[in-house]
Structure 1
Amino acid sequence: MLGGFAKTLFGSSNDRYVKSLGGIVAKINAFEPTISALSDEDLAAQTVKFRARLAEGEKLDALLPEAFATVREAAKRVLGQRHYDVQMVGGIVLHRGEIAEMRTGEGKTLVATLATYLNALPGEGVHVITVNDYLAARDAEWMGQVYNFLGLTTGTIIPNLTDHQRREAYAADITYGTNNEFGFDYLRDNMKYERNQMVQRPFAMAIVDEVDSVLIDEARTPLIISGPTDDKSDLYRSVDLVVKQLTAEDYEKDEKQKTIILTEDGTEKVERMLEAAGLLQGDNLYDFENTQVVHHLNQALRAIVMFKADTDYIVKDGKVIIIDEFTGRMMDGRRWSDGLHQAVEAKEGVDIEPENQTMASITFQNYFRMYPKLAGMTGTAATEAAEFYDIYKMNVVTIPTNVEVKRVDEEDEFYKDTADKFAAIAKKIKYHADLGQPVLVGTVSIEKSELLSEFLVKEGVEHKVLNARYHEMEAHIVAQAGRKSAVTIATNMAGRGTDIKLGGNLEFRMLDEHPDLVMGTPDYDAAASRITVEIEAEKKAVLEAGGLFVLGTERHESRRIDNQLRGRSGRQGDPGLSRFYLSLDDDLLRIFGPDTLFARMMRNNIGDGEAIGSKWLSKAIETAQKKVEARNYDIRKQVVEYDDVMNDQRKVVYEQRSDIMDAATVGDVVEDMRTETVNAIVGEACPPNSYPEQWDVAGLRERLLTTLAIDPQIEAWLEEEAIDPELVEERVRAEADAHVAEKAAQLEPDVWVQVEKSILLQNLDHHWKEHLATLDALRQVVHLRAYAQKTPINEYKQEAFSLFERMLENIREDVTRTIAFAEFREQNAPALPDLPDFITTHFDPFTGEDDSNDVDAGSLGLIQTRLPPLSIPQPQGNDLGSDPSEWAGKVSRNAACPCGSGNKYKHCHGAIGGVA
């Protein structure tokens, strides 16, 4: 009570913080008369002056007022848009590395220009991250006009770019792109073999648009780069036969958590069967040696019990094809990961295709935490403020609207079942559309969109359904959702980043109705004037009808998504209306809602087609949503906890790779590895403080021969009185060093350095890939340690550390062995291996689709981007010059060779010689 009184009296901490920024806004406004008086040339020259002041030691904070005033004036002249004071507040919040929560229609895209410009002045590069390729290209072109006017360069990272084009885009002062593209470029860079092949610069600052979508929703699934692995068909079939002999009493399944585990009796039964099949090492299923078997067993259980034919997948032409749970469409070419698809193939008795092995992966949490400064903006972040701070150390600041919100948010209506609810919704939509009011209908899935569409057809309501992920098409339809009597059905997430203007959107109408007209021509201006008049007349009619009506067909499991949908109405002080319609069949109520009493009361007391609405019911729904949000947060937190373990190791490996690539020579690294390998081999055969007669001389000679390619006369050494393990180590090292020095003398010094680098990098990559596979399998089964009263994450940390140490030992030994046995041709070129063929994967948590837009899949097949091709110049052979030696670094290794042979560049003019 006292807290509420204090809040009323003094305002919330957020209100006080926003108010404290008023002084800085006043300073910005004080510069406006001076800046406005500058000529275009003088205004553009401000950038040079700011950079000179930075070079003299002035801080960005000191430049902020004048820099923001400069951007405001540039936007006014170039775009015809002047930043409001509340937008200036948003810019300050972004510059401070915080999240600006600004309602839909408040101009977040324009707000970003302020902090982006200021932080681009040091020349270290600012990354502006958006949720899809269409928005990245649109914003870069739109806001790029302001930056270019002020003398800054902009680049765009979208699919289908070569490494050369990516490098140029990252070298720009400001780079636009999607979270997937930035993340995959980081992973790909850390698979390259030379520094000049890498495309990204060191990170400086990132500004994330729709920050809740990128850093929370999409952060449920990691980015993964994978490649084909060895064929394990027999293992899948053997485990499948074992699992098919189990009965329902042998396991417990939980549909809510989507998990399935063996019971104690089931575990014993499986152990006996696996033993009989010769698949079990020892007599305990959960011994570390059986990690891979347990992983395959779990996937086979899921495939057989949880995945149903003709519901989750179909078998067609001898292939298992996934069915999208939202659209009901076949998703040919997509495969489940972690061996699940192979388990389903074994279940159905079709050919088992080799699974893809993870070669590199990272979560968005750990990727974005690498930026020294991270900021974001969205219309909805307050409900996830705790998570933003816990994971990213970012505060959420709610920015007041420029004009007071007039939207009316009505109470939810409850119906007994979906049919009653949709019938009522269809009638409601028809009523409002007949009044001339535009209606935006939000659904939680594409399946529900199509079901509602059928009800509207029966009512004779003309409407549009957004049921695909063509972001540009979405933007065109959503932009016109504010027209008179327009009815638009969309999933709750569709069309984000596009403003719904009442009466329609001039820019999009011109693109749709007059795509051939060129801006600035008399014909274009005449058509634009005519459409502007139509838009104004429509806007007046829509305002009289009550503005945009947002209708939610179901509550989403996150309040934030509901708020996003509501926020589409009532922009910039426009009137508006919103309401949600619910039924007992809704997933949220069915799975997470209050059980029994609530359900019985609803079923017994509501007649067919009857609706009720009450604050108590709405409160119960909000409580259910809070439960789901907390559960989802725990899931994401767990993902981060496990990835943090791998992230520490990833940093070590990637830093080691960078050091190797940057080093002028790596002879000392190789020598240290050889020394440690010798010490380990001799220490094993000749333990410290032991007598020579206790040594394993035969074993020592064999290990030295097979690892170091030397055969020292150890028997002769034993005859010496003063012989001890330290002396043996010293002599073996001397012989091993001499053997390698002899090999090095066969090549030019710079060629030898490249050979050592290549061997180091190849071994490091091979073992890291194997290590990732082992960690993946370990993570799948480590939760079972909880039954032994052990904390799974602690167990995972300990075993991951032991596995990492073992990996480093294996790398040392393998590098030593490879160099000892390698044979070199006379005219040997620097040994630079090819990058492997790989595919990228990032599953959209809302659609289950792979939204990675991979274009570097090589022989594994191309995943086509869902966008129409954008007008990006692709380098042609003649653009690159006729000399193939000039093509290096300008052509992607997996792209077609510019010579026209039809082969990949890396298999043609990009081929590189190596160790024989």
Structure 2
Amino acid sequence: MVSFGAIARALFGSSNERIVRRHDGTIKAISALEPELAKLSDDELRARTAAFKAEVAGGKSLDDILVPAFATVREAAKRALGMRHFDVQMIGGIVLNSRAIAEMRTGEGKTLVATLPVYLNALAGKGVHVVTVNDYLASRDAEWMGKVYRFLGLSVGIIVHGMSDEERRAAYACDITYATNNELGFDYLRDNMKYERPQMVQRGHFFAIVDEVDSILIDEARTPLIISGPLDDRSDLYRLIDGFIPQLAPEDFELDEKQRQVSFTEDGTEKMERMLEAAGHLSGTSLYDIENVAIVHHVNNALKAHKLFQRDKDYIVRGDEIVIIDEFTGRMMPGRRFSEGLHQALEAKEHVTVQPENQTLASITFQNYFRMYEKLAGMTGTASTEAAEFADIYGLDVIEVPTNLPVQRIDDDDEVYRTAEEKYRAIVKEIRTAAERRQPILVGTTSIEKSEHLADRLRKDGMQDFQVLNARYHEQEAYIVAQAGVPGAVTIATNMAGRGTDIKLGGNVEMRVERELAEMPDGPEREAAIRAIEADVQRLKEEALAAGGLYVLATERHESRRIDNQLRGRSGRQGDPGRSKFYLSLQDDLMRIFGSQRMDTMLQRLGLKEDEAIIHPWINKALEKAQKKVEARNFDIRKNLLKYDDVMNDQRKVIFEQRLELMDAEGLTESITDMRHATIEGMVARHIPERAYPEQWSTEELQAEALEFLNLDLPVKDWAAEEGIDENDIRTRLIEAADKAMADKAERFGPDVMTYVERSIVLQTIDALWREHLVNLDHLRSVIGFRGYAQRDPLNEYKSESFELFQSMLTTMRERVTQQLARVELMREEAPIAPPAPPEMEAHHLDASSGMDEIGNGATILTADFNPPEAERLAIDPDRPETWGRIGRNELCPCGSGKKFKHCHGAYVAQA
């Protein structure tokens, strides 16, 4: 029976088709301008950019000038690149400009499509970011498409790993900036740790186009970007708590080895509270009071270290260090450490040196970073299976852009074998058959180990002429991918997502010219060599077409249909013939999860013999259902993690906006006065209760706090003994005394120096407390799940407790700023005032699937090098500061005091 929806689609087309048809009029209008623009000279075409900018400045919207701007880019691309945008590429450009994701098949020219909306939005003068998955693609696309932008008079910048702040600032100042998602996110975090506005490198978040949008906004968004730095030494606390765990009895904790979880029972919690209270490390009466968040984290880690982790199974002790053992391979992993204090708990357990813990200085998820852009768009070959997530998280619709030529690829039904051994025998046989008929074949695997396993089997079978791809060398990888369409080529690839390079049948002319003729100078000889390469590629293409085009053979189904579609989409580009097929076994991960035991029994009853496969469309549908379930589960996990991060993101916005206001403000006296008055209000409220008699006032404590926070020894006790005095009088006298002391200090320092000192102290205090707050939130996150046992929603509990911690942080900030400004004195004669150096930092972004750090062992040092050369050090005179040169604020002071420079001969020192 035909459904009503199917009848409606047959009559009116799908919703996607209706959206695409809606742009027909715009496409015709763009094409109508083509003959007119073709008559213009290069200079006249370039002059249109200035005219468009003037129209936008005069009040026209970017949509108002879309038709002439797109037509201008099409003409510029013809002249600068020798490439003309197809009409379907124009549709892709319109989709991208309308804040949506353009799903375009591999080989349809997404890189060229992006030039249309990038040029249009760059006319606003606010900067456009084009986001790629790796440095190689950022460099390649900036150089390649930059020819179009520069032809039209726009500037193009590029951000890659290892650039200085000056270089980054210049790149962000360009009309168009190419960068990776990691670099953009880290620059944002670093900018919000700077102390002066001119030190910042980014200039806002107006419009971004994300290439391989599914890879960046979904796969990589599973883990946040983190900038971390060393934490103060807490080894004594780790050792103290470690000593408590052996005193626990079996009934004091519950151990679930299957789930690898351990938690305290009620008796165990009470016992731990008594031990902590005796040691002076418990605030309040309960271990789970909000003030004890950090202690709970340490206690839980110590319990895990003793009860879940076994020596010589999960880790070994080698010399004075704990080395992790990989649970899958059994190999040692030197240099890798468990995070969030667990490694330190193991070090305390084994009585080796407890290494300093790294704390999070700043972090952000890609979801929250990219949602900051006023306009966001993306492009990829595979997004429709994740359309719900794109709409829910980012507010992005997915529009499927039709191909320029009909797809001729044949997608065969899956072949399912009983065992992995039978499957691999069939795969090796199929690869050999394809190679013998000179059909290029791309073999997709789900992991590097499986790639190597298949490569070993091919070698044993006598095949040597094949390439194995892994994600280590992007440039070399791009060349291998580009040549995978040569007749007879066999390419084994772990994951074909985000490669950014088309597999052209016959090979890639440009890459061959670049590699083979790199040393040959320009001239007739080089031109002849290029023509010879072009003729060779054309010959090879015809041979590959005759053999059936590119054959994509997949050795397994991924959990996500999108990854399977990415692999399959490598074949059949731009109307070429091609073929794809998946080989499965009941021992594959997805099949096992799906419940292959019943299927195995059924196939044996049906008499399926060894090396026979079952092929049926029903199996494809059943697998697709299983994949949909896994996708839905993963989406729920990501969505839940984002809900927690959104709580921190709201607080992050408040702190970062406050920092910007403080940096931009001409003077901070008013804000600091408000902080000082609020601190005094708090002091008075603590020690003089409302409607209490003077004899009930805690005047000695109030006098001590006035000395601590205001650096003023005031006769508060004597004031309280006066006839008729009340708390308002006490408050007023404290405020007047504190205001006068600060006014005197400002007069001594001078307005410029005072403003500088105030700004430095406020910003450094905010940063220090924000870092402490992030540590507390990490600790809170690690234990908040236990609230579920008490029938309370962990997310709501996290929201309320994190808000309390945030409010407490703001109160502490007011008190600390007031205290430091009351004690600060400038040592003019000993050292010039210099802007404070940022803390030592490392950048991290973990690959969600492998757990490895993408940034390279987390060793991206983000601080300037303040160490003078050895020759300069030898000339230092401890008694003559002018011989010291530039000293890092965290280095030992050259005077020989043994203190850090910032605590000794720094720009200012606190006086007791």
Check conservation: 2:773, 2:805, Cα contact below 8 A: yes
Count how many residue pairs are aligned between Structure 1 and Structure 2. Answer: 877
1:209–1:831 distance in 2 versus 1, CA, 3 Å:
same
CA-CA distance at 1:602 after TM superposition = 5.2
1:516 aligns with 2:528: no
Aligned residue number for residue 473 of structure 2: 470
Answer whether contact 2:414 2:616 (CA < 8 A) is retained. Answer: yes
> CA shift at 1:212, angstroms?
0.5
What secondary structure does 2:96 align onto?
Answer: helix
- Of 655, 658, 677, the match for 1:656: 658
Q: Compared with structure 1, are the counterparts of its residues 441 and 341 closer, same or farther at alpha carbon in structure 2 (3 Å cutoff)? A: farther
**2:896 maps to which residue?**
none
Matches within 5 A, 1:298-377: 298-299=300-301, 318-321=320-323, 332-346=334-348, 350-377=352-379
Q: Please name the residue that 2:482 is paired with.
A: 479
How far is the alpha carbon of 1:288 from its aligned partner?
3.5
The letter for the 1-side match of 2:164 is T
Per-residue CA deviations over 1:649-699 (Å, capped at 9, x if unaligned) read 111101111111111100111110000000110111111222111111111
Larger mean CA deviation between 69-78 and 522-531 belongs to 522-531
Q: Which moved more, 1:847-856 or 1:450-459?
A: 847-856
The match for 1:568 among 567, 570, 575 is 570
Q: For residue 250 of structure 1, what is the aligned residue in structure 2?
A: 254
Q: CA deviation at 1:327?
A: 9.1
Cα shift readout 1:203-222 (whole Å, capped 9, x = no counterpart): 11001000011111111000
* Contact 2:215/2:498 (8 A) holds in 1: no
From the superposition, tell whether residues 140 and 47 of structure 1 become closer, same or farther in structure 2 (CA, over 3 Å): same
One-letter amino acid matched to 1:695: W
From 817, 821, 843, the counterpart of 1:819: 821
Which residue of the partner structure matches residue 908 of structure 2?
915
Instruction: Render the CA deviation track for 1:791-822: whole Å, top value 9, x for unaligned.
Output: 11100000011100000000000000111112
Query: Partner residue of 2:880?
Result: none
Aligned twin of 1:72 = 74
Q: CA deviation at 1:378?
A: 0.4
Structure 1: 5+ residue stretches without partners? 863-891
CA-CA distance at 1:901 after TM superposition: 5.8
Provide the residue aligned with 1:262 in structure 2. 262
Aligned to 1:547: 549
**Cross-structure match for 2:94:** 92
CA contact (8 A) 1:751 1:829 kept: no
State how far apart, in whole Å, the 1-side matches of 2:333 and 2:453 are: 21
Q: Which amino acid is 1:435 matched to?
A: R
What amino acid is aligned across from residue 855 of structure 2 in structure 1? S
Contact kept, 8 Å, 1:893 with 1:905, in 2: the verdict is no
- Which residue does 1:598 correspond to in 2? 599
* 1:17-68 CA distance string (max 9 Å, x none): 0010111111110110011111111111111111122222222112111111
Per the TM alignment, residue 466 of structure 1 is displaced from its structure 2 partner at its CA by 1.3
The answer for the alignment partner of 1:418 in structure 2 is: 420
- Counterpart in the other structure of 2:715: 713
SS of 2:742's equivalent in the other structure is: helix
* Distance in 2 of aligned mates of 1:533 and 1:489: 27
> What do the CA deviations read for 1:192-241 (whole angstroms, capped 9, x no partner)?
00001000002110010000111111110001000001233354456667
Contact 1:555 1:562 (C-alpha < 8 Å) held by counterparts: yes
Aligned to 1:675: 677
What CA distance in whole angstroms lies between the structure 1 residues aligned with 2:506 and 2:885? 51
Counting only pairs closer than 5 Å after superposition, residues 482-497 of structure 1 correspond to structure 2 as 482-493=485-496, 496-497=499-500
- The answer as to whether partners of 1:218 and 1:845 remain within 8 angstroms in 2 is yes
Structure 2 match to 1:198? 200
SS at 2:749 equivalent: coil
State the shift of 1:905 in Å. Answer: 7.0
> Does residue 126 of structure 1 match 2:128?
yes
Report the counterpart of residue 772 of structure 1 in structure 2.
774
Q: How far apart are the structure 1 equivalents of 2:328 and 2:553?
A: 20
Q: Structure 1 506/55 Cα, relative in aligned 2: closer, same or farther at 3 Å?
A: same
**Mapped partners of 1:143, 1:324: distance in 2:** 44
1:475-874 alignment, distance < 5 Å: 475-493=478-496, 496-518=499-521, 520-590=522-592, 592-594=593-595, 596-598=597-599, 600-601=601-602, 606-827=608-829, 829-830=832-833, 832-852=835-855, 857-858=860-861
Which stretch of structure 1 is more off in the superposition, 509-518 or 219-228? 509-518
After superposition, the C-alpha distances for 1:337-392 in whole angstroms (9 at most, x for unaligned) are 32243345456664432121001001101100100000100001111111111111
Alignment deviations for residues 807-860 of structure 1 (CA, whole Å, 9 cap, x no partner): 0000000000111112221357446311011001101223322123699844xx
Instruction: List per-residue Cα deviations over 1:381-414 (Å, max 9, x = no partner).
Output: 1111111111111111000111111111111122
The answer on whether the counterparts of 1:243 and 1:300 sit within 8 Å (CA) in structure 2 is: yes
Partner-residue secondary structure (3-state), 1:45: helix
Residues 275, 283 of structure 1: 8 Å contact kept: no
Question: In the superposition, relative to structure 1, how do residues 303 and 64 fare at CA in structure 2: closer, same or farther (>3 Å)?
Answer: farther
Q: Distance in 1 between matches of 2:573 and 2:333?
A: 38
1:779–1:580: structure 2 CA closer, same or farther, 3 Å change rule? same
Q: Which moved more, 1:346-355 or 1:161-170?
A: 346-355
Residue 16, structure 1, aligned to residue 11, structure 2: no
Aligned mates of 1:304, 1:165 — CA distance in 2: 49
Distance 2:621 2:343 in 1: 41
Q: Deviations over 1:600-643 (max 9, x none)?
A: 43577654433222223222221221111111111111121111
Alpha-carbon separation, structure 2, partners of 1:298 and 1:598: 43
Inter-CA distance 92–587: structure 2 relative to 1 (3 Å threshold): same
Q: Distance between the aligned counterparts of 1:563 and 1:351, measured in 2?
A: 50
Conserved? CA contact 2:827–2:907, under 8 Å = no
Normalised by the size of structure 2, how large is the TM-score?
Answer: 0.91
Secondary structure of 1:83 counterpart: coil
Partner of 1:144: 146
TM-aligned CA deviation for residue 325 of structure 1: 8.1
The match for 2:460 is 458
Q: How does 1:231-242 map to 2 (within 5 A)?
A: 231-236=233-238
Pairs within 5 Å for 1:282-297: 286-297=288-299
Q: Which amino acid aligns with 2:835?
A: L
1:242–1:270 CA contact under 8 A, matched in 2: no
The question of whether the paired residues in 2 share the 8 Å contact of 1:416 and 1:607 is answered with no
What is the deviation of 1:470? Answer: 1.6
In structure 2, do the counterparts of structure 1 residues 904 and 34 end up closer, same or farther at CA, with 3 Å as the change threshold? farther
CA distance, structure 2, for counterparts of residue 843 and residue 292 of structure 1: 24
AA partner of residue 546 (structure 2): E
**Residues 856, 448 of structure 1: alpha-carbon distance in 2 compared, 3 angstrom cutoff:** closer
Which residue does 1:880 correspond to in 2?
A: none
Partner of 1:40: 42
Q: CA deviation at 1:700?
A: 0.9
| Gap change, CA 1:546 and 1:857, over 3 Å in 2 | closer
Matched with 1:179 is: 181
Aligned amino acid, residue 915 of structure 1 = Y
Residue type of the alignment partner of 1:423: R
1:893 is aligned to 864
> Retained in 2: the 8 A contact 1:125–1:172?
yes
Check whether the contact 1:240–1:343 (CA below 8 A) recurs between aligned residues. Answer: yes
Quick check: 2:128–2:176 contact (8 Å CA) kept in 1?
yes
The one-letter code sitting in structure 1 at the alignment partner of 2:907 is: G
Looking at structure 2, the residues matched to 618 and 230 of structure 1 have their Cα atoms a distance apart, in angstroms, of 56
Distance in structure 1 (CA, Å) of the matches to 2:557 and 2:155? 43
Counterpart CA distance in 1 for 2:352 and 2:372 is: 44
Change (3 A) 1:107 1:250: same
Give, as a single letter, the amino acid of the residue that structure 2 aligns with 1:541: E
Letter of the aligned partner of 1:150 in structure 2?
Answer: L
Quick check: 332-341 or 474-483, which moved more? Answer: 332-341
Distance of 1:323 and 1:207 partners within structure 2: 41
Partner letter of residue 819 of structure 1? Answer: L
**Range moving further from structure 2, 760-769 or 634-643:** 634-643
Does structure 2 conserve the Cα–Cα contact (< 8 Å) formed by 1:104 and 1:571?
yes
Deviation string, structure 1 residues 731-773 (Cα, Å, up to 9, x no partner): 0100111112222222121011000000100110000000000
User: Quick one: distance in 2 between partners of 1:583 and 1:443?
Assistant: 13
Conserved in 2, the CA contact under 8 Å of 1:547 and 1:575?
yes
Ranges in structure 2 where 5+ consecutive residues have no aligned partner: 874-883, 892-900
Measured after TM superposition, the shift of residue 524 of structure 1 is 2.8
Counterpart residue type for residue 835 of structure 1: P
SS of residue in 1 equivalent to 2:613: coil
What is the one-letter code of the residue matched to 1:601?
M
